[in-house]
Structure 1
Amino acid sequence: MSYLEYSVKSTPTGLRKILFMNWPLTLLLISVACVGFLMLYSVAGGSFTPWAEPQMKRFVLGLGVMTVVALVPIWFWRNMAVLAYAVSIMLLIAVELFGTVGMGAQRWIDIGFMRLQPSELMKITLIMVLAAYYDWLPGNKTSRPLWVLVPVLIILLPTFMVLRQPDLGTSILLLMAGGGLMFLAGVHWAYFAAVIAAGVGLITAVFQGRGTDWQLLKNYQYRRIDTFLDPSSDPLGAGYHITQSKIALGSGGWTGRGFMQGTQSRLNFLPEKHTDFIFTTLAEEFGFVGGFSLLGLYTLIIVFCIATAIATKDRFSSLVTLGVSINFFLFFAVNMSMVMGLAPVVGVPLPMVSYGGSAMLVLMLAFGLVQSAHIHRPRGAPR
């Protein structure tokens, strides 16, 4: 019996697939989501509206999406990767043409019951198409210049489209996630060294170009950099967010002020307390112990994803699972660094905790791919 024939015959069928889901991973996702519900209830002053209740409904829908995606064989998602990427590109074009404007940016499409953010979907479809590409490409061609150029273009196209919205945070995540997957796929380290050198040159150009006709960033993005370097330079203006965030983080101490006792969020000193800065509310109310516990849950999710990637035998399943892990890690690492003042404020939500529909549903879709790889992996050894 060939390996392919064995892998098809050894995977569960029908409803038995539900029994073979990665249930520890599912329970971890539910646990993190419950932390989010708790914090959204708190920042609303002890009310399920306007944030906790819609978030619960979206998570239940997300669980359904994850389950449906998980039950479909992983080879189907491999075959759909290029189409999914193309649809995401078309949605980004649609945003450019008639997207909804909010907070000075044009990032959403209003579909009635929610506002869809196509750049969130692109984070996953980009991982899918890169994993499919390297699954198709012979290993001896991975580092050849022509075959390196193809994934670079695949990454840069949506990155520049998202940057135009403008959404610097998501653009950075797309670049980092795509580059990380290329590295894991076996692309030679010399390419990454060249990119790092070019990045240093780009950063220099960013600062040199400020105030000129060819400046590379928007003025508000430059202000974010200034705030990152010296928040006290404008504590009531551009530095207000990070200053209040640091106050909230510091006031929590080791064990926090107690549930719904955080003064920074309760008295509305903390902006965006239900989205990008929700981690500071958690740290103020539950202290270092609460923040570290959430970080532990995130770490366990990544550990289970990596275990699935190791257990799978085909290249696409392994790469797409590792890609989801990279994406998930970048989400919470950038957000936590941002609210602690270790990175510029770039508008990246805390996964499964911050209020938001698109991010929640897309993350659950991504974990559905991980579950599909886990369910449909061959078990045992072919005879």
Structure 2
Amino acid sequence: MSSPYQGALTCVTCQIVFETGDAHREHYKTDWHRYNLKRKIINLLPVDRPTFESRILNQQIKENEENSKSSIYCTICKKSYNSQKSFDSHTSSKQHKTLALQSDNEHKDIGVPAAKKIVKPVENKLVEESDDEYEDVDDDEEWGEVVSENNPIVNNICLFCPQSSENLLQNIKHMSDTHSFFIPDIEYLVDMKGLLVYLGEKVCQGFMCLWCNDSGKNFHSIESAQAHMIDKGHTKMIHEGEALLEYSDFYDYSSSYPADTSVDDYRIVEDVNSQLILPSGTRIGKRSLMRYYRQNLNPNHDWEAMKETKLNKVINHYRHVGWTGTFPAAAARKARDLKVMRQVQTKMYMQLGVKANKFQKHFRQQVNF
């Protein structure tokens, strides 16, 4: 008897199953998924979504209590921040640095933190922000709550040495030129920033070698782990065997599947839980999401296109230094291996769920209403 989840899309880290490919891809962008990735590095079990949301709510309540009396204001960008952490992330953004160079405040008060002052709490209101500010938030502040402060990638620092770069692309170029570090199967990568941040967590929190992984020597500091990788020539990322399953959340090998598979069927209906797509192409959304449909967002910003452009820049740099790409046969082999491992894991999850159901000795209504 086959599993009811046979061939279904699953998240290995969060241990959940998806009905559509779009829901599967959108899940990878959530803070819940990234939080479980961080727990996975230190060998902790994942938490379910209600538990994660309750922890976030408790953390927000705690931060609101600490910042209820004052906030930090940036005189250059004319924006206020409720915590020192968010303000520090803002000051390191490209938008703030550009405006700081154009501002006269730096010339008037040299040596004085003119970008910071205490202001009274203001009422909640809608504020129109430029598109560049949203771009910087996506690059610099998105990972603030789920990633360690000393993560080298978030701080634009090399994974293998203390070298600092201006941005993520320059950091990737440094690692490839200096340490010969190349992201494997980059053509099938769907979350480049997420993968690099995950590698940064393994180095700065787990003190792990990216090539030895769990099977190698244990280190007690980030410096000793980096020295090992440089001395042994392990400035590379293992992406075979069990490591395929570990990094599967960041890759999509569907383009390497044979043409007769039904993987592309998941792309026919987009976001089936919130939209209905008619044969004419018209989209009908839920009434409960009307507040989001009415938002006046910039239609010219295509975030996926921006991420794809950044990925293409990395690919072009790799080709410039002699990288020839991934062979289709090798990618198809990895896709088959990954599919088998996911099927085995799904079967184990089902057996574990059946075993857990046997612990229930009495009937309990499985609804909340």
TM-score tier, shorter chain, comes to: under 0.3
TM-score with structure 2 length normalisation?
0.26
TM-score with structure 1 length normalisation?
0.25
Greater Cα radius of gyration, structure 1 or 2: 2
Greater helix proportion = 1
